[in-house]
Structure 1
């Protein structure tokens, strides 16, 4: 007996989905492109039929019909930096719950690369864009203004954003850390710092406030990006070898602070009685570290949620009551100093 020959009929169509779901093709189309206009039970039927048939919706056709791509482009400098991960995750979760998909792009810290990336993204017709920081090239700003796409900038603060903003003042963070050092009586700080723009803003705020107190850092150990724990440890070793009287290390991130603490412990240095260590970010491990890391807390999850809500409000045609949101920050004293 000859084996039965399988006949390939081609890819499943929207009509196939409609037939399996027992509804009209028009209703299937509406459930895919405007699910908020269709009963939940009908949307569930369509999803089940899509799963059964293996149908792949034509997102481009849907976007042409509705003038919406359901894509939100999110541009960050790094994804190997834990500082951005929680914000990205909450952005994605909030957008996904409302039928949008996140298109994530990593640009590094060069404004020219960011401008080229966003120009490419705009060819995909995203419904909105989230940018990290407020310092962009004039070319990028011009392109965004011409595109008339809702934009949210995050992780920084300015009275003149491109469109909307959720962030905080890095200069004020630096000033608050300086005040904390004064409260604790530290007089001989050393800095372990990366050279990205936002970290340098915090550093300048710290230096200005320390200068007002008549204090100059003993040493400044610059760190190449990314801010790895090993680099924090190496910088701590370099700093302690050259300056034995440093009484506090201020680090531009919790990751660097954790590395510095490892080096201090390896040398048998009493933390915080002999040497204090301060971080930034309140990353997940900071409270669980031994000793727990004193740091500055920024609510990264809330930042992502607020940015997504700003975009969603604009996309629904609603007025955005607060286009500029200062998220603020909190100094968190712990065992490291």
Structure 2
């Protein structure tokens, strides 16, 4: 029997959020029932050390629309989202944080933007934020840099509240800390209808943030990685080969200049010195060697690209909750590597 086609899948990555989960669940269910949506809720427990998994298990026992995945350790938000994306069944996929700062009341409007306005992806924009300036100011700088590099014009790339067509999440791959660049990755994979909606931002009710200022440093490095891989990932020779050829050419010109200068001085009976006595000789030699290495690096990169095979990301999962209309199954298994 094939799985029923659902209208909405809600993917919620979480880490140590046991206090907020029941309230978030009830809020989502209330919205879904008011609008008569068929839905599922995927709680992605990213190695929580509190009682979050116990809460998820209780919610799954009460509501067959709840599914849960628990990692053996904290892999990060990107891993949780990527795994959730591979499991979703809904035509529209909604992602939100588990800390109650994202409002489930936004779900119907986001759903309509995907289904009626035909957007591939709609990103939330927390225009009014309830965060300290130590968080909001770096966020503004980060978003400005991302817009400039990616040419994707969103105000808030890192907003956890987003909506996607299922085809989008099934055809992109994220890793590292690249969850904040999903709009960029989606656009570069051909999903160019990207919209933005102002959403309500609420003050954190329980616990404290799990992210520090280092996320902006790592995030910027990930952006550079994405930009480079997107442009040169399948043609590394275009980057390394071009740069290597240019350096080799410049080094050769400098070496020929030094040789020509020596020959000229010999024929004109002027004093001259050996090329190795001139610091420019070592500069030319260094540039030639580095240029040759870059060219060879590009060549080897091309060979690796030709021979590489796409492999799925795999993360260690210790427990999985699966629910459908007929049965609920709780799998408690030894730590195993899941290929989803």
TM-score normalised according to structure 1 size: 0.24
Flag the structure with larger Rg. Answer: 2
TM-score normalised according to structure 2 size: 0.24
